[in-house]
């Protein structure tokens, strides 16, 4: 079976960080700025953003801000990054924007005091659930109130910037995994999404995007020539990012999404699942571009830690045809139908929310649970996604930066 994954050529794609430091460093001279960054905030030659920016003559990097998972990606999902007041890194104050309360998600006026510029350099994965976009949005709001300018140093969308998939978040289901009416696979870079949010969804700050050089919308990450650096501890490869828009939905259930294995989000299962039965049911869905391999696995942490689970490994064999969101939906529907007495929806609080179930927040509405629990018509619901995507495509057009 031929895998349609090959990166073609080795184009000179430069992240916004490289563009600023190599080509336009004079823009930073005389500025006292803070930096929102993480371990994947690196130059093309793998120099950390805080080192590259601190070396610009005449500029003062005065503070660091970290999103979920912490500065170096050492914390697991939904694990608060607790920093003591006065914490420092490389001699600079460092502030966590993912603690134990909703208030911790937003920089305080004290954190922004003395800054005239806020620079954000984060690598996303092209999916609505990924929280870095919402951390940036909170920072944009706080900077508007503090009178601080915001620059976003853009990076590629690993899944390209063409394909869209999924529904838009319904108003009653907004959360830190879906603050704005975006589809699950939105086809934008972080800089493009920031432009849309700043103009269409919240009161605007003074925003500039330092654009990528050499990136084109059809490019997947492995076609950029850039090194893959894990943007979070359970996003080890581009393969992970490819399936993530669908299998992140598994977080809303009692199935393991493969955390605690070497293939998170590509492996799904539970102790009570028979692998051959699940794989056979998934094959009958005739989902494009994917093969489901039955397997057993044993997570070392999180759900079902230390227990042998049956399940499937999702092998994407044609990523141009693969529909990750629909694949994740069918995984849940098959597991619920085949093991109704063992399957459960997650009931614990999720991303600081207690008013809605986790699966509703991830799905952007109650429709997935209604399909699984009450047999609602999935095809009718899917047709509504087409209308959502057409509306979103028209909106996003004015915010796109790349051909």
Q: Would you say residue 7 has pLDDT above 70?
A: no
Across the range 374-401, mean pLDDT stands at 93
Residue 262 domain flag = yes
- Using CA atoms, how far apart are residues 332 and 342, in angstroms rounded to an integer? 13
Rg, C-alpha atoms of the chain: 21
Across the range 91-95, mean pLDDT stands at 90
Residue 53 domain flag = yes
User: Do residues 43 and 170 both lie within one domain?
Assistant: yes
Sequence length of the chain is 403
pTM score, whole prediction: 0.94
107-116, 351-360, 375-384: which has the minimum mean pLDDT?
A: 375-384
Specify the CATH number for the domain of residue 93. Answer: 3.40.50.12170
- Using CA atoms, how far apart are residues 389 and 86, in angstroms rounded to an integer? 45
Q: Residue 86's pLDDT is what?
A: 58
Contact by Cβ (8 Å): 387, 373: no
Report which DSSP code applies to 208: E
Residue 344 domain flag = yes
Beta-bridge mates of residue 268? 312
Which of 189, 205, 231 represents a domain boundary (last residue)?
231
Q: With the C-alpha atoms ordered 350, 354, 358, 364, is the resulting torsion angle positive or negative?
A: negative
Placement of tokens 């493969």 in the chain: 258
Question: Residue 223, Cα to own-chain centre: how many angstroms?
Answer: 20
Tell me which residue range forms the domain holding 63. Answer: 16-231
Q: Would you say residue 74 has pLDDT above 80?
A: no
Contact by Cβ (8 Å): 27, 117: no
Residue 96 domain flag = yes
Query: Sheet holding 88-89: strands in order across?
Result: 88-89, 92-96, 60-66, 32-37, 117-121, 149-153, 207-210
Residues 6+ apart with CB under 8 A from 21: 43, 52, 53, 55, 56
Q: Residue 6's pLDDT is what?
A: 41
Distance spanning both ends of the chain, measured CA to CA: 32
User: Do residues 63 and 121 both lie within one domain?
Assistant: yes
User: Do residues 27 and 80 both lie within one domain?
Assistant: yes
Across the range 292-308, mean pLDDT stands at 97
> pLDDT tens-digit profile of 198-210?
999 999 999 999 9
Report which DSSP code applies to 165: B
Q: What is the band of 5 on the pLDDT scale with cuts at 50, 70, 90?
A: very low
User: Do residues 283 and 300 both lie within one domain?
Assistant: yes
State the total domains in the chain: 2
Residue 57 domain flag = yes
Residue 380 domain flag = no
User: Do residues 97 and 227 both lie within one domain?
Assistant: yes
Q: Residue 8's pLDDT is what?
A: 45
User: Do residues 141 and 290 both lie within one domain?
Assistant: no
User: Do residues 251 and 310 both lie within one domain?
Assistant: yes
Which of 174, 197, 231 represents a domain boundary (last residue)?
231
User: Do residues 52 and 26 both lie within one domain?
Assistant: yes
Which of 181, 198, 231 represents a domain boundary (last residue)?
231
User: Do residues 26 and 89 both lie within one domain?
Assistant: yes
User: Do residues 83 and 216 both lie within one domain?
Assistant: yes
Q: Is 368 helix (H, G, I), strand (E, B) or coil?
A: helix
Q: What is the band of 88 on the pLDDT scale with cuts at 50, 70, 90?
A: confident
> pLDDT tens-digit profile of 120-169?
999 999 999 999 999 999 999 999 999 999 999 999 999 999 999 999 99
Residue 384 domain flag = no
Q: What are phi and psi of 234, to 5 degrees?
A: -110, 30
User: Do residues 246 and 174 both lie within one domain?
Assistant: no
Q: Would you say residue 4 has pLDDT above 90?
A: no
User: Do residues 177 and 270 both lie within one domain?
Assistant: no
Q: Would you say residue 3 has pLDDT above 60?
A: no
Q: Would you say residue 25 has pLDDT above 70?
A: yes
Specify the CATH number for the domain of residue 275. Answer: 3.90.1150.140
- Using CA atoms, how far apart are residues 241 and 253, in angstroms rounded to an integer? 20
Q: Would you say residue 89 has pLDDT above 90?
A: no
> pLDDT tens-digit profile of 228-248?
999 999 999 999 999 999 999
Q: Residue 2's pLDDT is what?
A: 31
Residue 336 domain flag = yes
């Amino acid at each position: 079976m031929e895998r349609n994954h090959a990166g073609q050529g080795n184009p000179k794609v430069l992240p916004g960080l490289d563009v600023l430091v190599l080509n336009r460093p004079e823009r930073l001279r005389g500025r006292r700025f803070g930096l929102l960054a993480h371990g994947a905030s690196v130059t093309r030659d793998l120099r950390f953003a805080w080192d590259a920016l601190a070396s610009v003559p005449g500029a003062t990097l005065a503070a660091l801000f970290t999103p979920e998972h912490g500065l170096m990606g050492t914390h697991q999902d939904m694990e608060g990054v607790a920093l003591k007041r006065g914490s420092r890194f490389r001699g600079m104050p460092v502030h966590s924007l993912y603690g134990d309360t909703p208030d911790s998600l937003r920089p305080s006026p004290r954190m922004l005091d003395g800054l005239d510029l806020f620079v954000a350099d984060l690598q996303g994965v092209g999916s609505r659930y990924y929280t870095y976009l919402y951390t940036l949005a909170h920072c944009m709001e706080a900077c508007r109130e503090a009178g601080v300018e915001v620059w976003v140093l853009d990076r590629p969308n690993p899944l390209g910037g063409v394909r869209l998939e999924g529904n838009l978040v319904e108003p009653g289901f907004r959360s830190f995994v879906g603050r704005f009416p975006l589809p699950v696979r939105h086809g934008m870079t972080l800089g493009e999404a920031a432009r849309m949010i700043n103009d269409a969804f919240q009161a605007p700050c003074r925003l500039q995007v330092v654009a990528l050089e050499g990136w084109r919308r059809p490019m997947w990450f492995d076609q950029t020539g850039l090194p893959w650096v894990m943007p979070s501890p359970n996003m080890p490869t581009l393969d992970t990012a490819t399936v993530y828009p669908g299998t992140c939905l598994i977080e809303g259930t009692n199935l393991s999404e493969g955390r605690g294995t070497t293939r998170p989000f590509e492996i799904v299962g539970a102790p009570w699942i028979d692998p051959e039965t699940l794989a056979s049911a998934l094959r009958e869905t005739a989902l494009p571009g994917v093969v489901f391999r039955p397997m057993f696995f044993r997570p070392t942490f999180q759900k079902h830690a230390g227990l042998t689970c049956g399940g499937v490994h999702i092998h994407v064999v044609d990523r141009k045809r693969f529909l990750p969101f629909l694949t994740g939906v069918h995984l849940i529907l098959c597991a619920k139908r085949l093991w109704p007495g063992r399957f459960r929806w997650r009931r614990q609080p999720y991303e600081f929310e207690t008013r809605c179930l986790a699966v509703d927040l991830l799905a952007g509405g109650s429709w997935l649970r209604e399909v699984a629990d009450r047999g609602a018509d999935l095809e009718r619901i899917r047709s509504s996604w087409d209308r959502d995507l057409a509306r979103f495509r028209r909106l996003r057009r004015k915010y796109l930066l790349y051909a």
